[in-house]
Amino acid sequence: MTPLAHSIEAIYAALETLNLPVLSSLEDLKRRYREMVQKHHHDIVDHDNAMPQINHAYEVLKRYMEGYKFSFSEEEIMKQFPEENHAARFKF
């Protein structure tokens, strides 16, 4: 891993390389990686040099996601499930 692998710039560059939105799950990352490999792998496309960038982007995002520390505070849970908070605000 390069020293700046978890820098904000590296993460946003990796998201752009894999064409992922900023709110993505590990499953989204794995699915997009498989799609990109099928499209750009050197066994399929002779003159496509995209695989090193795709592999690097995948590693940067995978390490970030796997090392992410989750917060189970009520505030963070409500961010993930805003519809539940919305309904609760209107109960009488």
What's the pLDDT score for residue 13? 96
Q: Identify the H or E element spanning 79.
A: helix 74-80
CB 29 within 8 A of CB 61: yes
Distance CA 74, CA 70 (A): 12
Q: What superfamily in CATH does domain 8-89 come from?
A: DnaJ domain (1.10.287.110)
18 pLDDT above the threshold of 90: yes
Q: Where are the domains of the chain?
A: 8-89
Residue 3, pLDDT score: 46
* Phi, psi (rounded to 5 degrees) for 47: -110, 30
pLDDT at 25 over 50: yes
Q: How far apart are CA 55 and CA 37, in angstroms?
A: 9
pLDDT tens-digit series, residues 26-49: 999 999 999 999 988 777 766 668
